[in-house]
Each structure stands twice: as C-alpha cells, then as structure tokens.
Structure 1
C-alpha cells in the first residue's frame, strides 16, 4: 500500500512539474494523460490486502457482489416504502431536473476547484521563483507530492 501511495504522490508531483519541461499546451495535455494512465497502472498492479495483484476479481460474480455491497445494493432491492412513495409522487420531470441540477453543480464545483488549485500552484511556484529556483514548478511538485503522501500516510495510520 505504501508503494502505491508513494508512486501516486510522485506522479502528482511529476504532473505539476510538467509545466517546467513542456511548453506546448497540447504536449502538456498528452503528458498529463500519460501520467494519469501510469497512475492507473500503478494502482491496478499493486497488491491488495489479501495479496492479489489485480483490482479485478477472478470471479465476476464476486466482483459484481462487491460492487453491489459498496453502493448499498442500489437498484437490486427496493428501499423503504417511504422512499418509493417520495419518488413516485415527484414524477420523472422533477427527477430529471434534480439530476440536471446535480450535474451542473458538480461540474461547477469541479471547475472552480481546478481553478483554485491552479492559482495555488502558481502562487507556490512564484514563491520558489522569487527565491531563485530555476524550475519553480518542479519545486512545487515536490511540495504537492509530499503533502499528498503525508495525508495518505495519516489516513492509513488512523484506520
């Protein structure tokens, strides 16, 4: 698990450092995609607590059962009568409107979250640049990687 966290933290740091080494926005996007694919590979090939080396279960029925347990058997077993009545009273129009509001809110929050992250990243890079760093985004990437690793380590110790 620690190896996965360390590799993931290093990939996040490398993603921030890409700004120092790749100037073209298209090449930078390709670099981010390659790093994301590398991160997915690290997670997929890491060992789980049982010692298995893949995130996909060998038995598909077991995997489907695990997914159902994770989401609370959503769509498999009916919920309490009060939930069913509330859904039927609202109708499909209200349901679709609520879904649309959720999607818009999700993308709005994601957009502002990314904008804030970029602003913080640039501020930290300017801090390093003022202190004479020739590759300020690389230094910022190290700060990001250390921060992510520390958070994941803290979470693992509290479990």
Structure 2
C-alpha cells in the first residue's frame, strides 16, 4: 500500500473513531445525528477527491460517458439494447407486478438487515464502552472509538495485502 492510500485509510479510520467518540461529547440525540451526518459527509468527500496510483481520480471519472460505460459493465449491461437474453425473458415472464413485489421485498429486507446491523453494532459499542468505564476511563466512547479505528485500519491493511 502506498503512502497516499495509507493516509486515506488512516483518515477514514479516524472518521470512524470520531463517529464513535461523538457519544462522549454530545448529549442530544439530534445533535449527535447531525454530527454523524457531518462525519459521513466528510468521509464521502475524502473518498470523492481521492486519487489512484496514477494520479487520476479514482471515483469520479473525467468523462461521464466513460463512467456510465463502466457502470453498465459492472452491472452486466442491464437495460441496454439488446442486452443479455436472460434479462429480457425474466421481466417478460414475471410481469411488472412480480417485479415490483420483488423490489419491495428487497427494500424491506435491506431495511431490516440495516436496522439489525445497527442495533448489533450499538450493543457491541456499548459493551466495549462499559468495559473501559469499569476500568476508570473518563471518556469510554473515545477509547472505544480508538479500538474501532484500529480495527478498520487493520481490516483495510489486511485487504490490500491479501490482493
């Protein structure tokens, strides 16, 4: 991993840690949500302006036609005429009602999984914070944020080395 990538990963990890630490510094749930939103926006902007090894923007392509073509290739040219025969047959066989029902099931499933994932993350975060609180930490969520940031950085480092 080159130095620029390490710095971006470190910045992203720090944002994750800061998001956890917000609990120590902001009591209002509304202000905490605004803080999370600001951190997420900061992270998105770091990713958006990031450059790959050649110095080119890695997320935002210079040419929108190139970006659209890359997206179409990623999703298998869905919706492009003539497109894969299986895509056309699947829609015409099932009809629009089944397609909309499948979409609704997907959206509901995604929402349920996201909610359960969030609740599990909060439970784990609170357990780790209580661990630090029992040991006398004055800012237990900040300590938990350091643990989260270290885990995120280690996972990114491991992913790059695995490739």
TM-score above 0.5, yes or no: yes
Q: Which TM-score bucket, shorter chain as reference?
A: over 0.9
SS in 1 for 2:79: coil
Structure 1 residue ranges (4+ consecutive) displaced by more than 3 angstroms after TM superposition: none
User: 1:58 aligns to what?
Assistant: 62
Distance 2:58 2:90 in 1: 41
Matched, 1:150 2:159: no
Matched, 1:95 2:99: yes
Distance 2:69 2:88 in 1: 24
**TM-score, normalisation: structure 2:** 0.91
How far did residue 49 of structure 1 move? 2.7
Q: Would the alpha carbon gap of residues 54 and 94 (structure 1) be closer, same or farther in structure 2, given more than 3 Å must change?
A: closer
Q: Would the alpha carbon gap of residues 85 and 59 (structure 1) be closer, same or farther in structure 2, given more than 3 Å must change?
A: closer
Relative to structure 2, which stretch is displaced further, 140-149 or 88-97?
Answer: 88-97
Of 11, 16, 40 in structure 1, the residue corresponding to residue 20 of structure 2 is 16
User: 1:26 aligns to what?
Assistant: 30
How far did residue 86 of structure 1 move? 3.4
Relative to structure 2, which stretch is displaced further, 137-146 or 30-39?
Answer: 30-39
**TM-score, normalisation: structure 1:** 0.93
SS in 1 for 2:54: coil
Root-mean-square deviation (CA, aligned residues, Å) is 1.4
User: 2:84 aligns to what?
Assistant: 79
Q: Would the alpha carbon gap of residues 115 and 102 (structure 1) be closer, same or farther in structure 2, given more than 3 Å must change?
A: same
How far did residue 50 of structure 1 move? 2.2
SS in 1 for 2:137: coil
Relative to structure 2, which stretch is displaced further, 62-71 or 128-137?
Answer: 62-71
Distance 1:97 1:53 in 2: 38
Q: Deviations over 1:22-68 (max 9, x none)?
A: 11111111111111111111111221132124632222221211222
Superposed counterparts of 1:131-146, under 5 Å? 131-146=135-150
